[in-house]
Every structure is written in C-alpha cells, then in structure tokens.
Amino acid sequence: MRTRVLQNTAALLGGRGLSIVLAGGASIILARYLGSEKLGEFGAIYAYATLFGWLATFGIDSIMAREASIDRNQATNILRTGTKLCLIFSIGATILSLVIAPFVGYKGHLHFLLIFAVMEILLLSPLRLPGVVFQVDLKQWYSAGINLLRQGIWLLLVVALAWLQARLITVIVWRFIVAALEAILIWGISRRFLSPLSESYASRSRFYLASSIPIAFSSLLAAVYFRIDQVMLHNMANDSILGQYVAAVRVSEMFEMIPAALIASLVPILSVSATGTGALAFRGYLDRTFRYFSVLACAICVVITTGAGPIVNLLYGKQFAAATPLLAVLIWSEVSIFFGTVMVAAMVTSNLQKFLLVPTAVGALSNVALNLYLIPRYAALGAAWATLISYGLAWFVVPLAFRQTRSLALQGLRWTVPALALALGTSWGAALLPAPAVVKLLAGVCLYAAGIGVTRLLGREDIEYAWAALAHSQAKPE
C-alpha cells in the first residue's frame, strides 16, 4: 500500500508539476498579448462561471470517492449513480448561470462569451466524474497524464493564437474544445477500470444526495470567496484594474495544484483508516500531511514575496507592474488554502462534512463584506487583503469553535503557526536588506531553510522518508 501511495503521489506531483509549467506558460502568453483590459474580461467570465461549479457536481464527486474507496467491488454502480445525478445538476447549473448573467453585469458580447465558459466548467462535469476511479485505485498517473496532454495542447494553441493575434472569442472557443477533449479522454479511459455490466444504485441516490448537500453548499460558499473578488472588481472598478489583479491571481493559483495533487493520493487511505480501529494511523497520516503542507506553503510565500517584483516583470512585463504588490499580498493566502485542503479531506473522510458549511460561510460572507468596504477605497489591493483575511478566518479560526473539528484544527495549527511565523520573519528581514531584489530573494530562502532546520519542522527522518519515497516511486506502476 505504501508503495502504491508513493507511486501515485510521485506521478501526480510530476504530472502536476509539468502541468503548472505549461499552464503558467499559457497564462503568461495570454496576459502579454491580451493586455490588462482583455485579460480582465477573460478573468471575469471564468470567475462567474466557476461560481456555479458547486451546482454542477453538487459535491457528489467527493462522496463517490469516499464510498467507492470503502467498497471497491461496487465502485462501478456507485459511480454510475453519481454520474446520472451529476448530469441532472450540470444541466440545471448551465441554464441557471446563463439566465442570471445579464442581471449581474454580463450582457452583450460578455454573455455570448460566457456560453462557452459555462459549457466548459459546468456541462462537461458528468464526463469527468468517472475519473474518480483513478483516485480510488491509486492510479492517478492516468488523470495526471490526461491533464498534462490538455495543458500541452493548450499551450501550443495559445502560442498560435497569440501569433495570429486572435480575438478573445477565438481563445475561449478553443479553450472549450481542449477541455471537451480532456473530458472525453477521462470518460473513455476510466471505463477500463469499471465493469460494463452494472446498474445504478437508484435506491442509494437519496443517501448520496443527503451526504453531498453539506459539501455542495460549502463548495458554493468556497466558490464565492475564491472568485467573488474578481466578479466584484469587474462591477465596482473596471476590467483594466481587474486585469492586473487576474495576473497576480494566476501566479498565486499555480501553486494550488500542489495540495490538490498531494491530498488526492491520501483520500482513499484516510477514508479507510478513519473508520474502525484505524484512528491512530489516521492521526499519523494527518500529522505528517499538515507538517509538510505548512512548510511547503510558507516556503512558497517566502520566495514569491521577496521576489514579487522581478517575478512579475519577468512573466508579464512592465505593463503589469501594478500586479507586484497584489501578488505580495495574495500569495500568503496559499497558507490557508494548503491548510484548508487538509482540513476538508480530514472532515469528509471522518464523515464530518456537515461542518464544512460554517468555515466556508464565514469565509464567503467576510470576503464579500470586506470587498464592499475595501474595493471602493483601495481597488485591487483592497480585494487582495479581503482575500487574505477571509481565507485565514475561515480555516484557522472557525474550526476551533466546534468540538468535533477542534482537534483536527489544533493538530494542523501545531505546525502551521511556527512555520508561518518563521516565513513572515524571514520575509520581513530579507526585505530590510539594502540589496538588489535577487539578493533579497536568496537571503529570504536561506534564512527560511536555516530556520526550518533549527526548529526541526523538517528533520533527518523526513529526508530519509523522502529518499524512500523516491526509491519506491521508481517501481513500475501497475
């Protein structure tokens, strides 16, 4: 089992790592050739469509992963039931999003562009859902490979579109075509691992829906605090300002693939160990995951904060110089995202998903309230601070209020607080140095690495574990 987990994680990290590079390259080229205003329109369209992603799946994918992991023999029936339910919700979400759009500022050509974005994000969801079997069987090199193929094709297309100076509508249509190809591949390949002779669990549909309701609404609230800032900037400022914000968000969001890749390998293991006599192992898995995630997230923050200026200039050019302070603030929200990723997985696998509604509700409401106050005064920088504060409030504070989730949160904060304090201190110290930006960046990284060793947030045992993981991951996947 350990070998398969390590193989799966190595494949995911390798695939997602390359995908980050390819997706980042595509985002950079898009930003440079679209310019601030058109990039703002692009970001506003997909931010709005993402707000309805919760309804397209209704949280069914998470429940399918848990149930199929617990009872692999019935995975085909479980996933077939989930796919039928997902189809109903995705059609409803598509129609609802397009009907509401004109009333919230998406009229004329924006509404037409939105049709393709909505089809990509919402209508293709049922084709993607059977891919849960890759996660259940710890064979996510398939999903990583398919995603890598998509990003590679998309990067080549973006290069061609930029060279041709294609219109925004052409970019969005081709993005939908590439996404459809990915969904079809997931659907087709996943069927190899599912029995052709199966039936849906109509009698279990009510149970799946009841279990997914808390996840669905927490996903809605999460979508609000992940994307409402861009929608509000589109309506309360202008698309040129939004374009600068989107450029900063694109850099920050690149790192969000990392916790998603890491935790995907652990969900089946956590689902099994969380039940019965596996409580001790469950806590052990969580403890190590929280520690590694905290150290990694804070390391990213140090690098991006101390090097924000050169990074933005290198990626986007001087036309996006206003994105530098935005990135320096937004990147710290990644600590909350890494932490929240572990918390969500722990709560779902522990059958505590009903508590997901509270942190996401607090995060969403505080984000909207802060944006309403800060955007008119500080524009995009206000939105960045609203994001940072609301994310931290949602995941570092709210779970402490409930007895059932308090122990999970405290287990994570045990590692996150010292790592975050170290990262803030080293970033601040590096910023005070009377030296060029590159020297500050190197100083920040060295100080943080030294601090990690002194505080023993990572030690010799972890290095040995990493070597073992590397050795095991060289085994040929089944």
Q: How many CA atoms lie within 13 A of 213 on its CB side?
A: 7
Residue 201 above 60 pLDDT?
no
Residue 61 above 70 pLDDT?
yes
Cα–Cα dist 149/151, whole Å: 6
Cα dihedral 303, 306, 311, 317 in deg (nearest 10): 170
Write the DSSP symbol of residue 74. G
Q: pLDDT, tens digit, for every residue of 304-324?
A: 999 999 999 988 988 899 999
pLDDT at 476: 44
* Structure tokens given for 249: 């968000």
pLDDT at 317: 87
pLDDT at 288: 83
Instruction: Report CA-CA distances (Å) from 175 to 15, 118, 234, 256.
Output: 20, 12, 22, 20
Per-residue pLDDT band at 298 (split at 50, 70, 90): very high
User: Quick one: how far is CA 448 from the chain centroid?
Assistant: 25
Residues 222, 353 contacting (CB under 8 angstroms): no
Mean pLDDT over the full length of the chain: 83
Full-model pTM? 0.75
Residue 477 above 60 pLDDT?
no
CA distance from start to end of the chain: 13
Per-residue pLDDT band at 470 (split at 50, 70, 90): very low
* Identity of residue 281: A
Cα–Cα dist 250/383, whole Å: 15
pLDDT at 6: 55
Residues 451, 422 contacting (CB under 8 angstroms): yes
Residues 472, 7 contacting (CB under 8 angstroms): yes
Q: pLDDT, tens digit, for every residue of 447-466?
A: 999 999 888 888 777 666 65
Q: pLDDT, tens digit, for every residue of 204-222?
A: 677 777 777 777 777 777 7
* Structure tokens given for 339: 């932490």
Residue 435 above 90 pLDDT?
no
Q: How many CA atoms lie within 13 A of 316 on its CB side?
A: 29
Cα–Cα dist 363/25, whole Å: 31
